[in-house]
Structure 1
């Protein structure tokens, strides 16, 4: 976890000695802000058992956080490279402060990789497969399920008044019409918990090896092949032309299949899953975020541009 001088969503407002004592820890210093995700506040704190990361969940409900932390603890217990949360004095993996869940993790050294290279993609693919294999029988009703087709259907009836919105809605309509049967088949593929946010900024590396996978805040349940699609989607969006590099895609898929071979159906449906992931990401941003960010055109949405760029390559 790397440091940054900006608090993403505000500042931790805790009596750290009292709070950390609930986790059997003695504070040895004040909080140092860490660059976190959009939905949490993270700070590094020196403690008697080594540095820790205090993470406040800004938007997630306690039940969802509990599901996330239970899964993360399980993954860490079977050797998956992610820090296991400390247990609080109430037996839970977080404590509530002013209604907000706050968890504590051991600090993990490493740097965020500067680019998604083919080698990093191979490791990331293998790590996704390790997660999917380790949670193959995981059953937890608290893990949310995303209605992706529902998101796209909402897009069709949205009143978003951005330039290019009519073309975006029409393309979404065509996508749903063209792929009705295959989308049903995709929904029937092997499913389980998805990280759903495995981009390079949620990886730490030391040398040329991944030392930690972070930020399971987007945990949800769905077809496993969608997790690979999301990994590839992020890699594409980082490119100047938004196109997925062949070498990254090949490496990620090879790494995944070294651990969990995909069925023929999953392989054939991966391009569809990639397009679906891009359109759902675009719909979420265009419908719920763009109007409040002062944007004027749908082409300011990176995932929409990525969908178009990669669709055009295949077409």
Structure 2
């Protein structure tokens, strides 16, 4: 989360008043992430302090956002712990701030767990499966906007910034993923709304219990297996050090066992999991390359390291290449 749009205190206060969320007392920009402008908003309502998150959407337009917000509403209504969008007197949950689309959602209790153990992974795996099942009767459709068509469009844009070895890997993996997507087994995989970005910093815990999933603004209809692979590539790999990006088998098994305790994988999903793990790594290596080399201005911005997901991808290849990436070529 970064701050691209400076929101005046008075405008935020007026929005909270329209939403019947009380009198604004504090507006604080959130640092971290790279897609949208986010603020913690604190208000006083009927003698109590209330906290929400205000998001101003920088890349997403009014045409895409109803899917994300109504998906969150659907999940919350069916007992999946996610932030519920606040509605105005007319029932609208998509608002406007500084001429841009915006939403205000509940602030989840607890904290993220950036060094998860097996119990954390199991808790997330079980809730992810439950979320997939609950989403089956969600009646809106929108593709994963960072799926294969976006990869095909974006790879040529980032290639000039890469060293030859990196460029060769990126081209080869994109060709492989296009091949996988053309197969009948892939086309038959179970699908539905997915989070598509359920990293460790998008989950809150009270102890070892999950208090909620948040940041659904990459969600879309795609294979549930891709959603699972994205999680395994963040929750169940090493972060930092000489073995950065390597899978941690005991964490991956805990995550998978808990997921399958709620929704068993099909035979085709088991077969294609290695390919989708590579797809998940490719997607985030590519998006981080894009954000690093083609950045937008922001008042608060910490770009993520693309090299981490290059290492994750290399570790997921059948004959893993050395896990340390080549130096990125100068722009």
TM superposition score category, shorter chain reference: 0.7 to 0.9
1:32 aligns with 2:28: yes
Task: Kindly state the Cα deviation for residue 172 of structure 1 after the two structures are TM-superposed.
Answer: 3.3
Count of matched residue positions in the alignment of Structure 1 and Structure 2: 303
Q: Any unmatched runs of 5+ in structure 1?
A: 1-5, 294-298
Corresponding residue number in structure 2 for 1:9: 4
**Structure with the greater relative contact order (CA < 8 A, sep ≥ 6): 1 or 2?**
2
Kindly report the root-mean-square deviation, in angstroms, between the aligned alpha carbons of the 2 structures: 2.8
Partner SS, residue 192 of structure 1:
strand
- Matched-pair contact (CA < 8 Å) for 1:67–1:140: yes
| Counterpart check, 1:228 vs 2:234 | no
Unaligned runs of 5+ in 2: 296-304, 322-331
Residue 42 of structure 1 is matched in structure 2 by: 39
Whole-angstrom CA distance in 2 between matches of 1:187 and 1:239: 36
- CA–CA separation in structure 2 for the residues paired with 1:138 and 1:268: 28
Measure the CA separation in 1 of the matches of 2:190 and 2:153.
Answer: 26
Return closer, same or farther for 1:156/1:282 CA change in 2, 3 Å cut-off: same
Provide the TM-score with structure 1 as the length reference: 0.85
Q: Which residue number corresponds to residue 265 of structure 1? A: 268
Deviates more, 1:237-246 or 1:111-120: 237-246
User: What residue in structure 2 maps to residue 289 of structure 1?
Assistant: 291
The residue number in structure 2 matching 1:245 is 248
Measure the CA separation in 2 of the matches of 1:187 and 1:23: 43
- Cα gap change, 1:156/1:198 in structure 2, threshold over 3 Å: closer, same or farther? closer
TM-score normalized with structure 2 length: 0.81
More deviation, 160-169/65-74: 160-169
2:14 maps to which residue? Answer: 18
Whole-angstrom CA distance in 2 between matches of 1:86 and 1:270 = 37
Deviation at 1:232, TM superposition (A): 1.1
Q: Distance in 1 between matches of 2:194 and 2:177?
A: 26
Matches within 5 A, 1:1-315: 8-15=3-10, 16-35=12-31, 37-40=33-36, 41-48=38-45, 50-141=50-141, 143-146=142-145, 148-154=147-153, 157=156, 160-170=159-169, 172-173=171-172, 176-177=175-176, 180=179, 184=183, 185-235=185-235, 236=237, 238-240=239-241, 241=243, 242-286=245-289, 288-292=290-294, 301-311=307-317
